[in-house]
Structure 1
């Protein structure tokens, strides 16, 4: 299996890109210099040809005198050509010498041309020196690029190494937030995500500890009651009715413990549902269907259960088991604590950034000073293990939702359970 390295990839790409830039700039500079030098040579030959043409028309000068008029290193002849040349300028090589030639029309009637030949060895030597210097500069630049890429790569990786070292020193007993003061601004979103995850882990660990302590306490109490009652009963012979009373109490305590164990098993199933594959569901149709299902339960207490929505359809992408866990707990609690012949309203309101689901009942309300989402917190005198809202809170955290439970603010008794879902899903579709 090939292991990818961001450091190596960035280092290689930076070296390659910068090296290509240096080579391209060097090639452009060399090409421009060569073109400029050759243009100057051609311009010089053209001016010499014009000068010779003007002088020859005004005076009788032989070709030997032309060499005196022009610069040194130039040979001038008058030649007669049968075919018109395609280009006025040509370059050629004789042994180790390089030359440039110009043909300038001298006499159109006889097809005579002024032929000027110039030795360009010195110009080519200068170009070779420029090329060699550029090659040395490019090689030096490449070495600097390698060093620069190494330094930049280390600098860019330093925040990642800093975060990695911070995380490697953490465990379930020591969790701390990553400080953003010394991090580049580009790494702040990463730090925020990690800090948010740390907060969720801390909360989860806290709830688990409370759950374990609560389970131990909740199981210890009925066991102690059964033990004490049985010990007292067995201290001396008693009437059959007393034994029956003790057995009934023991059965009641066992039933309570069974309810608690069932709730604890539900917690395990809910945690397993967090790994369930998200699905796309129409939340409006889902809530309408659930409302119809819960009407069978509310009808036993003659409670009117209604559903309202400000949209006809709203597609969401989440785990159905988890959203069902939340809705079921809130609606069942609303039915449990709402008196007969009252009403419960389920509402969905879709806004720009989020969607809110509220379950409003006509019950007795709650004590807002108590954290009802903590394990083994019970409302009123109704029986239960006190783990339903704890399950709902864990399910909400898993799908990125926020849930609250508040008293009504419209001068009526009862409470409002609120579920707020972000319209941007936490899990993306494949």
Structure 2
């Protein structure tokens, strides 16, 4: 079947067609088997009669030297005149060279076909007077040597008629059976895919504005139930993703609006009346700080969008996690000195891993900067490096304000800050841990957070082998 025909057929027609093609092969095999069995049975009975007739007339032969004749030919001829045979038996005697020596009266001037190959002959089909016969050729043996052959034949017209009629019936019924099967299969396929049509109609109604609608699950736990469940699961994930997108857009707009409002207010204050140079410096410095905050926020939003849409493939190479930790701490030495925070880094002699240096630095920078921001002055941050089997485990433990247990599940959401109103003096965008989550997923790093409010937080990173 050509691809063009396959495309034009509806799904239920393709199902019915494939079913009929498979069934047609089975029906054809069954028909051939039936015909073969009947043919074998017919010819077996015919051959048994042939052998019986040959054995019966073998005893009526008279052998004299090399001459073989019927001993009671005159009686045979008289019986032929008295009886009318429905299925006449034809008997013929040939010598060893195949020359005709005698034959039954009903053969008249005709002869049975002789096979000159020596030995026993299996029954075979032949023709006599334009009609089909079945004949067998049996050697006549005297003193261990063949002296001639007895040929016995029976009309096979009736048997052939039975076989031809059977073949005609089978061939005639074959397309009828296929048509009936196609119609039944098409109807059953239509009923079977009816739930799929309902699923299609439901999914066609679902848009961005009604993502809460779900497909009704079939009552039986079959493949359609699995399909509907999978689509409902997909819709659930899409709904959650759209909800996160809406929330992210709203939060991003709010975060962008805040520094812009501060910047606008500062400039409006400057233009209302002349100011002293010191006032200009203070307000311009505040504007620059808000611009820096806005720039940092935009950079983090762009980085997060880069992870969301076109996640870069990691460029893995061997690196030492301890060296990466020290590089991050060196960048934050100003904040550490200002708050008099001590950082204890536990050395592990075998802390080398194969990973992306940029992404590992990004992860450690965000985790350590959070620990520094939320730790009180004079506290200690402990960075641990240890092996758990073949994997390297990095822990960052601070003595900061901690995270509310109800907020732990959301701290990796974009623009989410745990109890932000309680620490408005601490700068942050709520994007750092979202970037950490995306980078960890890309590198296959397992991340866990343990925190106790007022006691501190422990971030654990388990690097893959």
- Which residue is equivalent to 1:377? 416
- Which residue is equivalent to 2:52? 47
1:166 and 2:202 correspond? yes
Distance in structure 1 (CA, Å) of the matches to 2:392 and 2:35:
68
CA spacing shift, 1:116–1:152, aligned 2, 3 Å: same
Match of 1:65 among 76, 81, 98: 76
Aligned-residue offset at 1:389 = 2.3
SS at match of 2:449: strand
> Larger Rg: 1 or 2?
2
1:304 and 2:348 correspond? no
- Which residue is equivalent to 2:404? 367
Distance in structure 2 (CA, Å) of the matches to 1:251 and 1:314:
40
Distance in structure 2 (CA, Å) of the matches to 1:356 and 1:188:
43
CA contact (8 A) 2:395 2:461 kept: yes
CA spacing shift, 1:63–1:164, aligned 2, 3 Å: farther
Distance in structure 1 (CA, Å) of the matches to 2:325 and 2:426:
19
Residue-by-residue CA offset, 1:1-49 (whole Å, 9 max, x unaligned): x677583654443332221221122112112211221111001111222
Distance in structure 2 (CA, Å) of the matches to 1:53 and 1:185:
72
- Which residue is equivalent to 1:142? 178
- Equivalent residues in 2 for 1:275-314, closer than 5 Å: 289-290=320-321, 292-298=323-329, 300=333, 302-304=343-345
Distance in structure 2 (CA, Å) of the matches to 1:179 and 1:223:
48
CA spacing shift, 1:326–1:181, aligned 2, 3 Å: farther
- Which residue is equivalent to 2:255? 218
Aligned-residue offset at 1:128 = 0.6
Distance in structure 2 (CA, Å) of the matches to 1:166 and 1:123:
64
CA contact (8 A) 1:298 1:335 kept: no
SS at match of 2:427: coil
Give the length in aligned residue pairs: 406
Distance in structure 2 (CA, Å) of the matches to 1:218 and 1:297:
26
Distance in structure 2 (CA, Å) of the matches to 1:215 and 1:71:
105
Residue-by-residue CA offset, 1:323-373 (whole Å, 9 max, x unaligned): 88667644654565567753223678689xxx9977442342322222323
In structure 2, stretches of 5+ residues that fail to align are 63-69, 98-115, 337-342
Distance in structure 1 (CA, Å) of the matches to 2:210 and 2:160:
73
- Which residue is equivalent to 1:33? 38
Residue-by-residue CA offset, 1:87-141 (whole Å, 9 max, x unaligned): 2423211353001112234443562333211111011001111111111221211
SS at match of 1:111: strand
- Which residue is equivalent to 1:104? 138
- Which residue is equivalent to 2:67? none
CA contact (8 A) 2:120 2:139 kept: no
- Which residue is equivalent to 1:427? none
Moved more, 80-89 or 27-36: 80-89
TM-score by length of 2: 0.70
CA spacing shift, 1:224–1:337, aligned 2, 3 Å: closer
Distance in structure 2 (CA, Å) of the matches to 1:104 and 1:407:
105
Distance in structure 2 (CA, Å) of the matches to 1:78 and 1:397:
97
Match of 2:282 among 240, 245, 258: 245
Distance in structure 1 (CA, Å) of the matches to 2:17 and 2:234:
33
CA contact (8 A) 2:347 2:385 kept: yes
In structure 1, stretches of 5+ residues that fail to align are 424-430
SS at match of 1:144: helix
CA spacing shift, 1:297–1:54, aligned 2, 3 Å: same
CA contact (8 A) 2:324 2:361 kept: no
Match of 2:160 among 116, 121, 124: 124
Distance in structure 2 (CA, Å) of the matches to 1:147 and 1:29:
25
Residue-by-residue CA offset, 1:393-413 (whole Å, 9 max, x unaligned): 56678899986533279x984
TM-score by length of 1: 0.75
